Structures are given as C-alpha cells and as structure tokens.
C-alpha cells in the first residue's frame, strides 16, 4: 500500500474523543495534563488542536512538484556504494546524495571515486536521467561536477535530462581553512 499523508478514511474521520481514548490507553494512567505545556513566553501548547473552520487548508507546494526520497551514499568502496545505490533505488529512493571523501573530515566515511574509473564503478547501472543527484565533495565539488560531466559525455548521456545539485559553499570552505583573511589582506594592499 502506498504511503499517504492524508491517511486512510478511518483515520481522517476519527473524532477528537476517539483520539483522546487512544491517547489515554497509551498513557496507561498518566494524566493528560502531562501532554500540555507552554513556551518561555507563556504560549500554551496542546497535543492536538481543532481543525480551522474559517478558511480551507492551503497547499504550499505546487501540484506538479513531487517529493524526492533521497538516500545518502558515503560508503568508501565504489563497488559497495554502487550495490547500496541499486538496492536503495530498487527500494523506492529516487534521489542520491553522493558524499565524496573530499567532503569529509579525516576518519569519516565518503565515497572514494577520484577518477573516471571510480565514478563508472559507482554509477554502474544507475539511470541518472531518472533520479535526482546531489554532489557533496566539499572543496572538491567543482572537480566532482567536472568528473560527472566527463562521465556523462563518455556514456553519451543527454545532460539536459540530468537533475544535479551541490551544496558547495566556497566561503565556508575558506572560513574553515582561514584563507579568507589572507585573501582579504592581499586585496587591501
């Protein structure tokens, strides 16, 4: 059965009283008052609120947008990472967050695919035009993008149909390595 954010009919039609009966059963004698709270500035917080009747719910996503189930891949061995990718895609994922070794701190995991052969092993049998791909290679993100483009060219894949993004932040990279102050000092001279 596919997941539904609206739930089956019996869920959406449950009354508040029936909901509280289920809560009381789960609380096993603990008073309901334990579920209520307040923020530091006195705003009361309840475990459930009545549905608004003064206006309909607004859909904040366009009907053409779809959710992406993204799987993080940071297994160092490209062949093992590929096996995990294929299993995840077969299990319903439709997005990949490829975390390369260059993005990680020493001792942390990350895919080791620093050349075209490694990337070919990593992406073997992956239909990139059917999934969204996010590249996370830290300071090496521009090189990872260039490597992916070379891979797509070698595979003769139409790049227009590929959905790739990255989270590269060159300013954060410079700040972590304290290179920004040296660049700023050189600029001021």
DSSP 91-122: TT--EEEEEBGGGSPTTS--B---SHHHHHHH
Residue 54 lies in a domain: no
Residue 13 lies in a domain: yes
Closest CA to 173 of 112, 111, 105, 97: 105
Residue 152 lies in a domain: yes
Measured between alpha carbons, how far is 107 from 71 in angstroms, rounded to an integer?
Answer: 21
DSSP 126-185: --GGGSEEEEE-GGGHHHHHHHHHHHHHHTT--GGG-EEEE---HHHHHHHTT-HHHHHH
Residues 40 and 83 placed together within one structural domain of the fold? no
Query: Which pLDDT score is estimated for 107?
Result: 61
Measured between alpha carbons, how far is 84 from 44 in angstroms, rounded to an integer?
Answer: 45
Q: Per mean pLDDT, which range of 52-66, 86-100, 140-154 is the poorest?
A: 52-66
Residues 86 and 163 placed together within one structural domain of the fold? yes
Residues 94 and 170 placed together within one structural domain of the fold? yes
Q: Into how many domains does the chain fold?
A: 2
pLDDT at 77 over 60: yes
Residues 170 and 77 placed together within one structural domain of the fold? yes
Residue 52 lies in a domain: no
Residues 21 and 100 placed together within one structural domain of the fold? no
Share of the chain above pLDDT 90, in %: 34
Q: Which domain holds residue 24?
A: 9-45
Residues 107 and 170 placed together within one structural domain of the fold? yes
Q: Per mean pLDDT, which range of 72-81, 101-110, 115-124 is the poorest?
A: 101-110
The tens digit of pLDDT for each residue in 124-146 reads: 999 998 899 998 888 788 888 89
Residue 64 lies in a domain: no
Residue 59 lies in a domain: no
């Amino acid at each position: 059965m596919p997941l539904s954010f609206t739930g089956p009919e019996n869920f959406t039609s449950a009354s508040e009283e029936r909901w509280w009966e289920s809560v009381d059963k789960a609380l096993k004698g603990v008073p309901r008052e334990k579920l209520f709270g307040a923020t530091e500035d006195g705003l009361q917080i309840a475990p459930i609120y009545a549905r608004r009747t003064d206006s309909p719910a607004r859909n904040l996503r366009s009907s053409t947008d779809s959710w992406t189930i993204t799987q993080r891949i940071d297994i160092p061995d490209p062949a093992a990472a590929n096996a995990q990718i294929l299993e995840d895609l077969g299990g319903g994922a439709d997005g990949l967050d490829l975390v390369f070794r260059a993005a990680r701190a020493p001792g942390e995991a990350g895919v080791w695919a620093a050349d075209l052969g490694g990337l070919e092993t990593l992406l073997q049998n992956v239909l990139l035009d059917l999934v969204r791909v996010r590249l996370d290679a830290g300071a090496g993100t521009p090189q990872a993008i260039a490597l992916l483009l070379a891979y797509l060219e070698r595979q003769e894949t139409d790049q227009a149909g590929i959905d790739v993004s990255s989270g590269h932040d060159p300013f954060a990279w410079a700040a972590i390595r304290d290179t920004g102050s040296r660049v700023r000092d050189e600029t001021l001279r």
